[in-house]
Amino acid sequence: MPSRSEIHYFGAGPAPLPTSVLERAASVLLNYDNQGIGICEISHRSAAATKILSDAKASLAQLYDIPEDYEILFLQGGGSGEFSAVVYNLVARWVERRRQRAVAELGEGKGSEVLERLKNEVRDELKLDYLVTGSWSLKASQEAARLIGKEHVNVAVDARKANEGKFGKIPSEAEWTRSTRPAFTYFCDNETVDGVEFPAFPSVLEGADDDTPVVADMSSNFISRAVDVRKYGVIFGGAQKNVGNAGITILIVKKSLLTPMAAPTLLQQLSLPVGPIVFDWPTIAKNNSLYNTLPIFDVWVAGQVMQSLLDTFGAQKIAGQESVANQKAELLYGVLDAHPSVYRVVPDKAARSRMNICFRVHGGDDAREKEFLAAAEKRGLTGLKGHRSVGGMRASNYNAVSLEAAQKLAQFLQEFASS
């Protein structure tokens, strides 16, 4: 049986966790804080659980320099759950803002007139903009269309149209067909399946206000590079890539987006969906993420991972981890690019992900790719098989993947290409 130190895992998620965190986790599972019971057994409403939650929030706020006017929520349902929650919450807010404006202009006691006006505005003006640059943003846009109707979903960019029907590029912003005043603009900052990452915050989204907030799915590049939180209305991510184990979703949301929200009865009158209470951000915020039973162990793991970054990089915070991530990615892409007859990096160079390095071996030849995977596993290099929907290879370069692991993979890539 190989030891943990002999295996270098590059799986896309659940992803590796720092060994030091797992060692502490093994201890607290049996006896947390000398209480005689394990961390999974303590009440989620106990003082100990509240402190775990508070510490995790504080670590994240410090890492990202999150302003006071933002809320940090811990939820369940993963990133896919937030595909739905974003629609439920931000459409409800859009409707309520429109209702208040209608009441101010038409006057009190004009309920039927207000309702008729809202029906017309929903029909003619409600638009959700989606930047579809990979498999996950595509799924998010499809969920929005399922919930409120495809006529309300504007795919401002479909990257497949610029790449022969496949994902792998991010078209120029000049080619995007954005709505005039969308209820929100949604993009996936890093596409795990397709190896595509936005190199920077889209310039055309600069200056977005509370009526047109920017929503970013950062599930697979969370806490891997510096982010100016103030440019976003909502940032969310599943924990199981860079932050912790599967079980929690972390949401950073501007507090002003938590109110006001349309009443469920009004949404029903407008034929708009009413979301489950566990996806209702204001409810979760009012209850300090404890409306229902939160998996406190998962929060503890995430908090430990985030605190370890603070301990490691000090004043550099996320910028320190970003430097390491860039170094590992440059090392691997450098070897791949040096052997074009053996390796073909799938995404366009301008949109290459630092987190998920996707490539084909010998043009995607099935036998040669199986040979590659078998040889890699003999070296203790595992988790390199690409997503089932696209095939090929994928080396996920998450925070817990060490520089040593990246160096060993680079050496193997070099040797395989020369064999």
Give me the architecture of the 8-15+315-418 domain, per CATH: Alpha-Beta Complex (3.90)
CA distance 201 to 184: 15
Q: Which is it for the CA torsion 31, 37, 43, 45, positive or negative?
A: negative
- Tell me whether strands 196-197 and 190-191 are parallel, antiparallel or unpaired: antiparallel
Burial of 355 (0-12, 13-18, 19+ CB in 10 A): buried
Calculate what percentage of the chain has a pLDDT beyond 70. 100
For residues 85-92, give the mean pLDDT: 98
| pLDDT the model gives residue 419 | 87
CA quadruple 117, 119, 125, 128: dihedral, nearest 10: 140
Per-residue H/E/C for 184-237: EEEEECEECCCCEECCCCCHHHCCCCCCCCEEEECCCCCCCCCCCHHHCCEEEE
Indicate yes or no: pTM above 0.85: yes
Q: The sheet that has 128-132: what strands, in order across it?
A: 70-75, 249-254, 234-238, 214-217, 184-188, 128-132, 153-158
CA distance 299 to 71: 16
CA distance 352 to 299: 31
| pLDDT the model gives residue 1 | 79
Q: How high is the mean pLDDT of the chain?
A: 97
Do the beta carbons of residue 247 and residue 62 sit within 8 Å?
A: no
- Over residues 164-202, the pLDDT tens digits come to 999 999 999 999 999 999 999 999 999 999 999 999 999
CA distance 317 to 313: 5
CA distance 326 to 365: 29
- Tell me whether strands 393-396 and 249-254 are parallel, antiparallel or unpaired: unpaired
CA distance 278 to 84: 12
Calculate what percentage of the chain has a pLDDT beyond 90. 99
| pLDDT the model gives residue 45 | 93
Cite the active site residues: 136, 217, 241
Every domain range in the chain assigned CATH 3.40.640.10:
55-299
- Over residues 149-158, the pLDDT tens digits come to 999 999 999 9
CA distance 407 to 57: 33
pLDDT at 2 over 90: no
For the domain made up of 55-299, the CATH class stated in words is alpha beta
pLDDT at 315 over 90: yes
Instruction: Identify any residues that bridge with 357 across adjacent strands, giving them in sequence order.
Output: 395
Instruction: Identify any residues that bridge with 184 across adjacent strands, giving them in sequence order.
Output: 128
Every domain range in the chain assigned CATH 3.90.1150.10:
8-15+315-418
Q: How confident is the model at residue 347 (pLDDT cuts 50, 70, 90)?
A: very high
For residues 9-29, give the mean pLDDT: 96
Measured CA to CA in angstroms, residue 329 lies from 80, 141, 234, 310 at distances of 27, 29, 27, 22
**Eight-class DSSP state of 386:** P
